[in-house]
Structure 1
Amino acid sequence: MSIYAIGDIQGCYKEFRKLLKNIGFKKNEDTLWLTGDLVNRGPNSLDTIKFIMELDDSVVTVLGNHDFNLMAVYYEIKPWTKIKHTFHDILSHKDCDLIIEWYRKQKIIHYEKEIKTILVHAGLYPQWSLKTTLNIGKIINKKIKGNECKDLLNSLWTNTPSMWSEKLTDQEKIVFAINVFTRMRYLNKDLSLNLEIKDYNNKDNDNLTPWFMTNSEVLKETRCIIGHWSTLGYYQYKNLISIDTGCVWGNELTAIKILNDGSIHKTSIKC
């Protein structure tokens, strides 16, 4: 059995299927890890998500910001409903309810203890231990699956709180954590979230630090695979591997095979 991780697909169905063929992925034999943002901006969100759902237990996916966007629009939460999107094909489909139900069962973060590897869409907050990170993830998963899902989605249209503190309310901690797991790229000097700047060209700004270049507790001993940051592209930094290579922008879709000795093998296709 092999584990393959693939970066943000965003409705680029044809490219996704082509990449799976190129790497020789076998359902029921291999496991596919997806970094989230399965839908939106690309031309075929519906076929993408239906195919992924058909993979059953052969796929592990984490939720990205565009996946939250889909769920929020489904529940008619403003101002999410006013944002331009390309998942009308999902919302108008007869199986839309089943698709959202499937989405609500997916994780915000995945940890594979045997290979000490985390899969998450955007990142990990550097001041959190592995235990804290996973515990917060479990709380979020429970709320998304449960009756609080709509209320949770309704609270996410915000960049605050931007600073972690144990003094935050439980709700504020959850909002902060979801922004970390699905939106974070840069941190300010005080380790507060900077959710405005996206371009990796700002890495030389003295006031900003890519989150993975801070003194992250988790990254010291755990590998982390992320998507989300397309301007960063394929990038390795110590235990960090970034694999969103901007397929939806006409660049590449990337897969990595995690080998038994812990090394990786990269395969990309042009989009």
Structure 2
Amino acid sequence: MAIYLVGDIQGCFNELTSLLSQVNFDRNSDVLYLAGDLVARGPNSLETLRFVKSLGECAKVVLGNHDLHLLAVYAGIKKTKKSDHLSELLAAPDIKELMDWLAGQPLIQKIPNPGSNSTSVSSTNKASNDYAYMTHAGISPQWQLSDALEQAELIQTKLTSPDRNTWLALMYGEKPNDWHQAITDVDKFRYSINALTRMRFCFMDGALEFDQKDSPEAITVSNIVPWFELSQTINNTHWVFGHWASLMGKSSHPNIYPLDTGCVWGNQLTMLRWHDKKYFIQSSELSD
């Protein structure tokens, strides 16, 4: 058995299947963790969703911001963006089944570390060497691990409830961007969605900053830093994430693994084999 972790696919289905062929992925014994944004700007979102869903228990997904936006579009809350390629998916005969499956996916996955004897992945477990964690964007530096696990579980409960569309409509907005100002359930829901799926930089007090998307080296603003330079949680816990393509898999912290390497922007799709930390890449079929 091998555990593989892959970055943002964004509908780049051919590159995904090529990567899986590279490693001779066996759905009967291997496990694939996907860092969110399965859909959107690439050409084959429908094929991607159908395939990942067909993998059953050997596919472990976290929701990304594009996945959540797709759910809102399907619900009639938002319209597709010009850069999205979702028409075929939204017109598919199995769209309801796919959207119900997608809405049931969590925002955090626990990844068994090599040599771990643990068999339970209860969301209430405290940090230990038995697990690493995956979210689409990272973990808020204003949170402890227990906060992230609790909020992710609450979000999943809301998105699998009969009130799913109500909550999807409430997730949009950038306030509060400070966890200490998240008082109501709606505040906590919106902040948690943003922290887990949209975060890149934070202000020095840990509040979320939403404007900057470049690599840390390219930023000229002096009062913001990457979230992982402020987080205390990752000093004791390995964290895997996607979302930040301009990092191109590089970071300043030894405990994090950024996996979005901009396949949809013409770069490459990246996969990490967990037990030996070996990377596999597949060049994008798309021009920039």
Aligned to 1:83: 81
SS at match of 2:158: helix
How far the C-alpha of 1:205 sits from its partner, in A, is: 3.2
- Cα distance change, pair 82–93 in 1 and its aligned pair in 2 (3 A): closer
| 1:228-271 C-alpha deviation (Å, 9 max, x unpaired) | 00011112422111010000011010000011xxx411111111
Partner Cα separation in structure 2 for residue 171 and residue 151 of structure 1: 11
CA offsets per residue over residues 36-86 of structure 1, 9 Å max, x none? 000010011111111111100110000000001110000000xx2152221
**C-alpha separation between the residues in 1 aligned to 2:203 and 2:243?**
19
Whether the aligned pair in 2 keeps the contact of 1:4 and 1:255 (CA below 8 Å) is yes
Give the conservation status (yes or no) of the 8 Å contact 2:177–2:191.
Answer: yes
Query: How far does the alpha carbon of each residue in 1:195-230 deviate from its partner, in whole angstroms, 9 at most, with x for none?
Result: 11111144453211000011x232021100000000
Displacement of 1:166 in angstroms is 6.2
Match of 2:55 in 1: 55
Q: Deviations over 1:82-137 (max 9, x none)?
A: 52221111110000000001001100111236442001000101121111111111
Q: TM-score, normalised by structure 2?
A: 0.89
Code of the residue aligned with 1:17 in structure 2: it is T
Structural mapping, 1:55-134, within 5 Å: 55-77=55-77, 80-81=78-79, 83-84=81-82, 85-112=84-111, 114=116, 115-134=130-149
* Pairwise CA distance, 1:167: 5.6
| 2:173 alignment partner AA | T
Determine helix, strand or coil for the equivalent of 2:151.
helix
The equivalent position to 2:279 in structure 1, one of 263, 266, 269, is 266
| Cross-structure match for 2:264 | 248
1:199 aligned residue: 214
Could you tell me which amino acid in structure 2 is paired with residue 31 of structure 1?
A: V
CA offsets per residue over residues 124-180 of structure 1, 9 Å max, x none?
A: 011211111111111111001112211111012211111111661121011101100
Q: Is the CA contact 2:176–2:182 (under 8 Å) kept in the aligned structure 1?
A: no
Name the aligned partner's letter for residue 129 of structure 1. Answer: Q
Contact 1:231 1:245 in 2 (8 A): yes
Aligned equivalent of 1:233, options 236, 248, 256: 248
30-39 vs 233-242, which moves further: 233-242
Which amino acid in 1 is paired with 2:268? E
Q: Does the aligned pair in 2 maintain the 1:228–1:244 contact within 8 Å?
A: yes
Work out whether residues 223 and 239 of structure 1, in 8 Å CA contact, stay in contact via their aligned partners in 2: yes
For 1:20-39, what per-residue CA distance to the aligned partner results, in whole angstroms no more than 9, with x for missing partners?
Answer: 10111110200000000000
Segment of structure 1 superposing worse, 193-202 or 65-74: 193-202
Cα distance in 2 for residues equivalent to 1:197 and 1:258: 30
Segments of 5+ residues of structure 1 without an aligned counterpart are none
Partner of 2:28: 28
CA RMSD of aligned residues (A): 1.4
Is the 1:202–1:208 contact (alpha carbons within 8 Å) kept by the matching residues of 2? Answer: no
1:55 and 1:43 map into 2 onto residues whose CA distance is: 20
State the distance in 1 between where 2:47 and 2:233 align: 36
Distance 1:30 1:133 in 2: 27
Give yes or no for contact 1:36–1:227 (8 Å, CA) kept in 2.
yes
Please give the residue correspondences for 1:31-50 in structure 2 after superposition, counting only pairs within 5 Å: 31-50=31-50
Contact 1:7 1:255 in 2 (8 A): yes
Q: % of aligned pairs identical? A: 35
